[in-house]
Amino acid sequence: MAVYFECITRTNRRQSELFDLARNIDVHKNSMAKSREEAVAGVTSGLISLDEEVTWRAWHFGLPRQMTSRITEMHPPDYFVDEQVKGPFRRFRHVHEFRQDSEGTVMVDRIEFSAPFGLLGRLVEKLVLARYLQNLIETRNQHLAGEPIPGQ
């Protein structure tokens, strides 16, 4: 059984800017500095695109973790999807959506994941991992909303 949650972030950035910031490896590393996240294989800097992969190494819960994700869908500048191809989850899917309106851009993150271990995993998913991951996404989104545009 999977866990699902959404994070909604509003910003005054243009939709196309936010779309590119959200798939920028260097910006992601900066937003995840607290967990010492580094891109160690695949696309390790700049923009990641459709069918490309990145392997992240980070520290979570005091332990080093590694996860490889692939961009499996992309429709610029409206949305892209990354999914784990190797890593700590049984399944991990992250849909990044962007909508322009009269006040700026709305960014919606839809996360669905499942932990790798049976009944204990279901309890950990709901009680610990969902809250932890939601906090990571919200922190990242606040960073994206205020991030300087690379090269400017």
Domains of the chain, first to last: 3-146 (3.30.530.20)
pTM: 0.90
**Per residue in 82-97, pLDDT tens?**
999 999 898 999 999 9
* Two structure tokens written together for 24: 């920028």
Cα 60-55-48 angle, rounded to 5 deg: 120
Rounded CA separation 136/91 (Å): 18
Q: Is residue 112 classed exposed, middle or buried when 0-12, 13-18 and 19+ CB atoms within 10 A define those classes?
A: middle
Collapsing DSSP to helix, strand or coil, 19 comes out as helix
What does each C-alpha distance from 73 to 52, 70, 99, 117 come to in angstroms?
A: 10, 9, 17, 28
Q: Is residue 121 classed exposed, middle or buried when 0-12, 13-18 and 19+ CB atoms within 10 A define those classes?
A: middle
* Two structure tokens written together for 61: 């819960």
Above 80 in pLDDT, residue 118? no
Check residue 150 and give its pLDDT.
56
Above 90 in pLDDT, residue 116? no
* Two structure tokens written together for 129: 């991992």
Check residue 33 and give its pLDDT.
81
Q: State mean pLDDT over 128-148.
A: 87
